Amino acid sequence: MRPLFLAVLVSALLSASVPAWPAEIEPLPALPPIPADNSMTPQKIELGKMLFFDPRLSGSKWISCATCHNPAMGYTDRLPRALGHAMSEGPRNTPTILNAAFIKAQFWDGRADGLEAQALGPIQADVEMKQTLTQMVNNLKQVPEYVTRFKEVFGETDPITPGNIAKAIATFERTLITPDSPFDRYLRGDKLALSRDAREGYRLFQEKGCTACHNGPVLSDGNFHHIKVPGSVDEGRFKVTKNPADLSAFRTPTLRNVELTAPYFNNGSVNTLEGAVVVMGNEALNTNISRKDAVLIADFLRSLTGTMPKFDYPDLPYTRY
Amino acid sequence: MRPLFLAVLVSALLSASVPAWPAEIEPLPALPPIPADNSMTPQKIELGKMLFFDPRLSGSKWISCATCHNPAMGYTDRLPRALGHAMSEGPRNTPTILNAAFIKAQFWDGRADGLEAQALGPIQADVEMKQTLTQMVNNLKQVPEYVTRFKEVFGETDPITPGNIAKAIATFERTLITPDSPFDRYLRGDKLALSRDAREGYRLFQEKGCTACHNGPVLSDGNFHHIKVPGSVDEGRFKVTKNPADLSAFRTPTLRNVELTAPYFNNGSVNTLEGAVVVMGNEALNTNISRKDAVLIADFLRSLTGTMPKFDYPDLPYTRY
């Protein structure tokens, strides 16, 4: 064979069988990364769970983290844009916190690095929980069981601090992972864990180039990409960096459990997975994804729903009056 | 012994050992009364649990029954008066629904007879979930899994109706009972299940006459009594009957799990159990209960906390768009 012909053949084979981008999708690890200064102890997980469910962290004492990150709905609110204090509407869609521990950049615009840095944001936001850190700390100090538990967990003389509250909540969030999805079983060798349609969807997902951004164990590169979905006027990452290159750039969201977290995108403008796939084709990949292919890709995406974390409701302790 | 002396002796013994009112406090039965037209099936319990946790029953799609009847806080909100739609404040304190199945008259003013009649009230109230029954039904009909489940449970051709929604929620509520409190174990013969102080508190509770209204398995006679607590301008039962005799009359609340449901009374005006006991002495029994006795009675009341119902979070199904 002449070298030119060989090169053309190889190229043709590559374009037919190898994705345009390397796949690099991995099964979900058993544990997410754990910061060296915030060890995961059972007592800290339990305390974090209590705080996550406790409305006394909010200014109204009526809204908890779990109000919008609702465990019954994939840890989202299934609303286009988040509601919060006085039922005011925030500018963005509530992201799931399932497997958020695997991504460093938090929030749609990545304005926090890691779960600890993220945790105190919604507590203080006027359209979310609308509480000051000082008042929150004062309120929690009136709960004798919290005083005891914070001392046990953190071993300090005055342990109820915003930083420790964030550490405890982040530790609980590190337990909110969803292993053993059909796709994980497929990656581990159980080829029948996916339907034929879902397998074809996975092939298309790679072929179309979705894995350029949606890769790694949670199908997010944790990085920022320009994506202006219908109806969005959100400046995205630009609000954080003031760098014009970051205008309308958002952090790639995880696709794990994505079937549970409709509606989609930063403004919650698309209700269905199939619709979201088509929009992403146009906006992110500059390609028209046919309805038929979108249905197959959506079938693949539904295979990313894992086992929900199970735990007992916390029994929240009393405030001392 | 002479007959007169005997009579005096018996009378003295009675006044020392027998409460001023018959106690009639009973251990919590394993099951509450179940209406003949709403049988308790596992499928109906599960459906009712889903509806109880589903914010799509509200006008905002953000507030569920569980928002205010928070399982983490004794199925109350621990606020003086309930917050609801747009965070507006209602006129009354959120009652617990733990063991509510044992009482016929529902709401503080008894305006609903039974759980089925109660369930649709908060959904429609402007200061609670603010939804019309028609819109609620339309929203649920867009959830394919609800269509299937309602058909399985009720076996009708068009089963998603306000009446069936109420029946399912009421059925779930009948599982929210709290058996095996220390006091139940005491009543069943384990005398050491109560501390000495709690036993003395129980004696005082009977002696002071609390059992006149707080009797039966949930320590409520289910009846209405005039009780005007500090700061209350609430007309109570009068709003329902327009009978002047019912002015400021409220249904006796259960005392089971009362330590979990502060603050107390129709207006949530008292934060502590001890304080509530003193107020009840003044307002309901026309007697001054000393601080010392109130502490003992509160010790007894804390023995009424039973085993919380445990269940997995429902996974709420999707709306079809």
pLDDT value, residue A223:
97
Name which of A70, A259, A271 is nearest B321 (Cβ-Cβ): A271
CA–CA gap between residue A24 and residue A213 (Å, rounded): 10
Kindly state whether residue A21 falls inside one of the protein's structural domains: no
CB B306 within 8 A of CB B184: yes
Share of chain A above pLDDT 70, in %: 93
Kindly state whether residue B308 falls inside one of the protein's structural domains: no
Q: Model confidence at B24, in pLDDT bands (50, 70, 90)?
A: confident
pLDDT value, residue A320:
85
CB B304 within 8 A of CB B74: no
Domain hosting residue B215, numbered range: 20-29+179-302
Mean pLDDT of chain B: 93
Kindly state whether residue A313 falls inside one of the protein's structural domains: no
Clarify whether residues A106 and A145 are in a common domain.
yes
Clarify whether residues B58 and B82 are in a common domain.
yes
The domain spanning residue B93 has which CATH number? 1.10.760.10
Interface test with B, best of A67, A75, A87, A259 (most B CBs within 10 A): A87
pLDDT value, residue B25:
86
- Is residue A165 classed as helix, strand or coil in its secondary structure? helix
Mean pLDDT, range B78-85, rounded to an integer: 98
Kindly state whether residue B272 falls inside one of the protein's structural domains: yes
Residue A85, chain B, CB below 8 Å: the answer is: yes
Share of chain A above pLDDT 90, in %: 91
Clarify whether residues B222 and B132 are in a common domain.
no
Please name the amino acid found at residue A76: T
B-chain residue closest to A262, CA distance: B318
Each residue's pLDDT tens digit, B25-38? 889 999 999 999 99
Clarify whether residues A47 and A167 are in a common domain.
yes
For residue B183, give how far its alpha carbon lies from the nearest alpha carbon of chain A (Å). 20
Kindly state whether residue A311 falls inside one of the protein's structural domains: no
Clarify whether residues A49 and A136 are in a common domain.
yes
Name which of A62, A70, A72 is nearest B77 (Cβ-Cβ): A62
pLDDT value, residue A23:
52
Residue B285, chain A, CB below 8 Å: the answer is: no
Kindly state whether residue B195 falls inside one of the protein's structural domains: yes
Read off the pTM: 0.92
pLDDT value, residue A195:
98
Mean pLDDT, range A95-104, rounded to an integer: 97
Q: Does the pLDDT at position A198 exceed 60? A: yes
CA–CA gap between residue A174 and residue A123 (Å, rounded): 19
Clarify whether residues A116 and A239 are in a common domain.
no
Interface test with A, best of B79, B89, B318 (most A CBs within 10 A): B318
Clarify whether residues B183 and B200 are in a common domain.
yes
Kindly state whether residue B228 falls inside one of the protein's structural domains: yes
Clarify whether residues A216 and A168 are in a common domain.
no
Residue after which a domain boundary falls, among A122, A144, A173? A173
- ipTM value, please give it: 0.90
Q: Does the pLDDT at position A268 exceed 60? A: yes
pLDDT value, residue B320:
85
pLDDT value, residue A15:
43
More confident: B14 or A167: A167
Mean pLDDT, range A239-258, rounded to an integer: 97
Give chain B's radius of gyration (CA, Å). Answer: 22
Number of domains in chain A: 2
Burial of B10 (0-12, 13-18, 19+ CB in 10 A): exposed
Q: How many CB pairs under 8 A join A and B?
A: 80
Mean pLDDT, range A187-211, rounded to an integer: 97
Residue B36, chain A, CB below 8 Å: the answer is: no
Q: Structure tokens of B38? A: 């709403």
pLDDT value, residue A3:
52
* Residue A79 CB neighbour total at 10 angstroms: 19
For residue A298, the chain B residues in CB contact (below 8 A) are none
Phi, psi dihedral angles at B251 (to 5 degrees): -70, 135
Name which of B62, B73, B78 is nearest A79 (Cβ-Cβ): B62
A-chain residue closest to B53, CA distance: A72
Residue after which a domain boundary falls, among B118, B141, B173? B173
For residue A7, give how far its alpha carbon lies from the nearest alpha carbon of chain B (Å). 48
Residue B61, chain A, CB below 8 Å: the answer is: yes
Q: Does the pLDDT at position B5 exceed 80? A: no
Q: What residues of B are labeled active site?
A: 128
Clarify whether residues A154 and A205 are in a common domain.
no
Q: Does the pLDDT at position A13 exceed 80? A: no
A-chain residue closest to B60, CA distance: A87
pLDDT value, residue A116:
98
Kindly state whether residue A215 falls inside one of the protein's structural domains: yes
pLDDT value, residue B4:
52
Name which of B54, B62, B321 is nearest A83 (Cβ-Cβ): B62
Clarify whether residues A167 and A205 are in a common domain.
no
Clarify whether residues A85 and A123 are in a common domain.
yes
Residue after which a domain boundary falls, among A140, A173, A206? A173
CA–CA gap between residue B154 and residue B168 (Å, rounded): 9
Each residue's pLDDT tens digit, B40-59? 999 999 999 999 999 999 99
Q: Model confidence at A19, in pLDDT bands (50, 70, 90)?
A: very low
For residue B319, the chain A residues in CB contact (below 8 A) are 78, 262, 271
A-chain residue closest to B54, CA distance: A72
Clarify whether residues B52 and B169 are in a common domain.
yes
For residue A106, give how far its alpha carbon lies from the nearest alpha carbon of chain B (Å). 23
